[in-house]
Chains A and B, each alone.
Chain A
């Protein structure tokens, strides 16, 4: 899991929060929705890509 995933998830949460704000206008909401959908796609991709990589400390 990368730092980027954390940031994306954070941004996604912000987007949703902003969209749920009744003061946000429609144009902005549409733009936010587009951004959010892109973020979701990326997050899901990251989740799907996550895999276990095991290494061992050898150099003592």
Chain B
């Protein structure tokens, strides 16, 4: 079950549970898109390399048209929804004449979210006002929205299945709102960094009104609108369902709530899905002025009157001694005079960079309020610019958006500067102090080859010349400095021009932008690989200091000497140690030790040999006696005689024959004899 909660201005909650299914919105055959409702069809945005989209362009255009026509029948079913993955494409889809602005409102009643936010709040800032008469919602809403600086806030998270990681931009705190421009925000945890007050020169900021927001704690709901300027075309609610095994993200489309009045009629077919607020309020007979004032104030708390730019001519200008300024903004249309009371408080007036006077045409940013004490409707001016300059500022902001969308300001495009450039290209005026300053710094720090690409640095056609001068140097030098001295916003204006920004962005050679003074910011600074606050600073940035290098080189010598000395000393100690260990006394002692050892072994050997020898001698004697007893010669002494024939012993009579010569041995000697006769014993 999905529950979508929409809060209206009075904080009344309208709960739409489950698939929205009204009688007006029964499923039916798809109606032709073209000409269905009175909105002009939107052309699809061209797909460019910096923001590739994977959706079919036709499909995107179709989806967008359907959205703009009230989102009826997207899926041919009663419940119009589409996947959150479509969102980036949808957001980037409108181009021609429509600059899609994406706003995300986030309400979260989960206490930890608010804690995170308040902890990170900068104490120096205006405290975040929670509740209060302008915020009659249940619980303090945490509002985060991107502005049209970032036309494709989800561009960095293509293929996201989870909108919580959407990149929306730098968060800023503005009263009760948190505004996000460039950066990363975790919508789910509402972790928005809080930065100082927005710059007074951000006229593109589009207000959010509290009529949508304040969400059911069970849901993480993000509301978004596709806007044309401040006019929302439609809005949708992204719902994350909890529970079950997986989180389901899908998007439900709603046209504006009936309580919001828009400059054109919303699509009734879808509007009817949102139940009408009960209008039967019992009217008391008589109201007090305070009550009426409250109603008037509340009525004026309308998006069309809040945080808006107004163009007009200053009349009845009074600079009060208190420092506050009171005047009217006037306009004549068809001979009829229109005038609006204005107040510019002292604190806001202090940052004006011109002196307002009667008759001056200006554009002013602020909000319409009801001054209850005087019963007057007045425009509370927060920023004001002379009309001409103001429009130029707006033009710069538009260029900035467009060039950012083309990717020229992306951080990943920035290249490191070469550490030791041999040739430096300078794009600036031939005459004037800037080039001389750069040369002076280079001479002092590290003289290199300098190539000047002279150009006009102000004037109506200066941007063409500057761009050409940059391109002329590209590839011929190691680094390019684009420089101009300080000047007024108008003087520096060519450096905001897309021609210059593109020339810098497309340069293959790294570029340092050094335009104006520290406080001046131009678009060329954003496109360059490095921004230097001044031309002199740029020169210091690109070359190392010669003297410092010299010191470093000398330092290297010292370090080498030191480490060599250390090594020599260590080697000396080693040799000393070895010498000590090689002393002859030690050697003699070792020899003595060995001699003693050898002598000991010799003695032992002698002793062992002696014993063994005696034993052997005794054995020999015994064996000899034994042998003597068994000697054949010993039997001769007992009367026996040994007969030998031809040197061999004759053992039997058979060996003898008649006439054989034999030799006889007997005790005391022997005899030679000849056999006369041989006779044999019978029993042989």
Partner-binding segment picked from B377-385, B439-447, B629-637: B439-447
Find the B residue at minimum CB distance from A28. Answer: B567
Q: Is B592 an interface residue (CB 8 A)?
A: no
Interface presence of B299 (CB below 8 A):
no
Docked complex Cα distance between A19 and B568 (Å):
12
What count of chain A residues pass the 8 Å CB interface test?
34
Interface of A is mostly: helix
Chain A hits for B443, CB < 8 A: 52
Q: Which residue of B lies closest to A35 (CB)?
A: B560
Q: Given A1-B420, A6-B420, A52-B439 in contact, is the A37-B560 Cβ separation under 8 Å?
A: yes
Q: Which residues of B contact A47 (CB under 8 A)?
A: 546, 549-550, 553
Q: Size range of the interface on B?
A: 35 or more
> In the complex the two chains form, what is the Cα distance from A33 to B559 in whole Å?
10
Per-residue CB contact flags for chain B residues 143-176 toward chain A (1 = under 8 Å, else 0) read 0000000000000000000000000000000000
Chain B residues with CB under 8 Å of A12's CB are: 553, 556
Contacts of B442 in A (CB 8 A): 52
Contact between chains at A44 and B556 (CB < 8 Å): no
At the interface, yes or no: B421 with Cβ under 8 Å from chain A?
yes
Report B588 CB to chain A, min CB distance, Å.
Answer: 33
Given A6-B419, A19-B564, A26-B571, decide whether A1 and B557 contact each other with a Cβ distance below 8 A: no
Whether the Cβ atoms of A20 and B449 lie closer than 8 Å is no
**Contact between chains at A52 and B447 (CB < 8 Å):** yes
Give the chain B neighbours of A43 by CB distance below 8 A. Answer: 549, 553
B511 within 8 A of A: no
A52-B439, A52-B442, A52-B443 known; A33 vs B452 contact (CB < 8 Å): no
Among the stretches B300-308, B320-328, B468-476, B518-526, the one at the interface with A is B468-476
A44 touches B550 (CB 8 A): yes
Contacts of A54 in B (CB 8 A): 439, 449-452
Question: Is there an interface contact between A16 and B472, defined as CB atoms closer than 8 Å?
Answer: no
Q: Is B422 in contact with A29, judged by CB distance below 8 angstroms? A: no
Residues on the A chain within 8 Å of B101, using CB: none
Instruction: Name the contact of A19 in the complex, choosing from B419, B446, B469, B563 (C-beta under 8 A).
Output: B563
Q: How far is the CA of A1 from the CA of B417 in the complex (A)?
A: 14
B453 contacts A by Cβ under 8 Å: yes
Name B556's contact: one of A2, A13, A55 (CB within 8 Å): A13
A49–chain B nearest beta-carbon distance, Å: 9
Binary per-residue interface labels of chain A (17-54) against chain B in the complex, 1 for a CB within 8 Å, 0 otherwise: 00110001010011011001100100110010011111
Q: Mark B533-577, 1 if CB is under 8 A from A, else 0.
A: 000000000010010011001101101110110011001000000
The winner among A26, A52, A59, A60 for most chain B CB atoms within 10 A is A52
Residues in A whose Cβ lies below 8 Å from that of B473 = 57
Given contacts A1-B420, A2-B422, A5-B420, contact A19 B560 (CB under 8 A): yes
A30 touches B430 (CB 8 A): no
The answer to whether A50 and B453 have CB atoms under 8 Å apart is no
Q: Which residue of chain A has the shortest Cβ distance to B546 in the bound complex?
A: A47
Q: Which residues of A contact B422 (CB under 8 A)?
A: 1-3
A15 vs B560: C-alpha distance when bound (angstroms): 8
Once bound together, how far apart are the Cα atoms of A51 and B560, in whole Å?
29
A-B contact list, 8 entries, CB within 8 Å:
A2-B420, A15-B556, A26-B567, A36-B560, A43-B553, A54-B451, A57-B451, A57-B452
Across the A-B interface, the 6 shortest Cβ-Cβ residue pairs = A52-B447, A6-B420, A57-B453, A19-B563, A53-B449, A56-B452
**Extra contacts besides A16-B556, A16-B560, A55-B450 (9): CB < 8 Å:** A1-B421, A9-B549, A30-B564, A32-B560, A36-B557, A40-B554, A56-B451, A57-B453, A59-B472
